């Protein structure tokens, strides 16, 4: 039996990455773990995020996955280098693919990054971008209220618009021509972010690039699945019904086969 791709996130947001993986790798089986019991990670300390990430990795490895995709931007920013040191399985984070695309796309070499407090405080995006092109200027801001807005489905209208205007003002002032949506939830707020930033500013949603990277690694390692359409299994550490309902916004469909597990 061929092995599945493992994906984990602090909660439901990583389903935006699963959606792209299904699009680009329809033959692959996917095992998803959402740490609903301990979400949000974006406000937790580095030590805690590393500990949670190791536990999530161990759970997915027990499911015998062949590659693990860290769909959470906060984990990718704060813990990825550490977990990559401890595990031999290929691990793909969401940070490098998004940073690469932004550096490639930016014309004026001014890039904005938005994410959770943890992601922004880590400065991981800044460092990654500077390594790719030291001339790029990065303006990074945390937008913590975007996560609950996306989960509430409150992605249109005056309230999100006002919040987005306030958060994004420094990016507009800095004159960025490209913005990395550095959080699993932010693709849901794309229309509002676009309205504030203007149509000439490019929004980078790294999920697509992540799926391309996963495909590349599986091809290189000779681990691509051939044959029938893949299946998806969903595990959470709490509240499977809530996860199943929210899946509609993040994955495009509700999911019923969600199992609660204790790590
Ligand atoms: N998944 C997180 C991220 O992409 C957002 C939610 C959280 O704070 O846990 O950074």
pLDDT digits (tens, 9 = 90+) for 78-122: 999 999 999 999 999 999 999 999 999 999 999 999 999 999 999
Ligand 1: residue of 15, 38, 40 to mutate (most ligand atoms within 8 A of CB) is: 40
Residue 12 CA to residue 208 CA, distance in Å, equals 17
pLDDT of amino acid 254:
86
10 touches 18 (CB < 8 A):
no
**Nearest CA owner, ligand 1 atom 1:** 72
pLDDT of amino acid 1:
54
User: Is 72 noted as a catalytic residue in this protein?
Assistant: yes
Choosing from 72, 143, 246, 255, which is the catalytic residue? 72
pLDDT digits (tens, 9 = 90+) for 131-163: 999 999 999 999 999 999 999 999 999 999 999
pLDDT of amino acid 52:
98
Tell whether ligand 1 has an atom less than 6 A from the beta carbon of residue 42. Answer: yes
108 touches 80 (CB < 8 A):
no
Q: Phi first, then psi: give them for residue 204, nearest 5 degrees.
A: -100, 120
Q: How many angstroms is it from 1 CA to the middle of ligand 1?
A: 33
pLDDT digits (tens, 9 = 90+) for 210-257: 999 999 999 999 999 988 899 999 999 999 999 999 999 999 998 988
Is the overall model pTM greater than 0.85, yes or no?
yes
Tell whether ligand 1 has an atom less than 6 A from the beta carbon of residue 119. Answer: yes
Q: What is the widest separation between alpha-carbon atoms in the chain?
A: 54
pLDDT of amino acid 27:
97
pLDDT of amino acid 124:
97
């Amino acid at each position: 039996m061929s092995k599945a791709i493992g994906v984990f996130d602090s909660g439901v947001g990583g389903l935006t990455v699963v959606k792209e993986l299904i699009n680009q790798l329809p033959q692959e089986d996917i095992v998803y773990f959402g740490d609903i019991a301990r979400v949000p990670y974006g406000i937790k300390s580095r030590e805690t995020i590393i500990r949670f990430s190791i536990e999530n990795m161990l759970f997915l490895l027990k499911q015998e996955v062949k590659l693990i995709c860290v769909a959470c931007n906060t984990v990718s920013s704060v813990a990825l280098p550490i977990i990559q040191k401890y595990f031999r399985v290929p691990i793909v984070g969401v940070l490098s693919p998004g940073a690469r695309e932004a550096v490639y796309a930016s014309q004026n070499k001014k890039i904005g990054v938005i994410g959770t407090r943890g992601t922004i405080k880590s400065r991981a995006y800044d460092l990654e971008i500077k390594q790719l092109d030291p001339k790029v200027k990065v303006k990074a801001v945390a937008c913590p209220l975007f996560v609950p807005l996306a989960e509430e489905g409150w992605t249109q209208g005056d309230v999100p618009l006002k919040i987005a205007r306030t958060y994004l003002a420094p990016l507009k002032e800095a004159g960025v021509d490209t913005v990395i949506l550095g959080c699993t939830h932010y693709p849901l707020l794309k229309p509002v972010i676009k309205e504030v930033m203007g149509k000439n500013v490019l929004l980078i949603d790294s999920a697509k690039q992540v799926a391309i990277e996963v495909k590349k690694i599986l091809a290189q390692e000779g681990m691509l699945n051939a044959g029938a359409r893949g299946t998806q299994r969903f595990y959470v550490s709490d509240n499977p019904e809530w996860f199943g309902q929210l899946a509609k916004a993040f994955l495009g469909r509700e999911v019923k086969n969600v199992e609660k597990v204790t790590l």
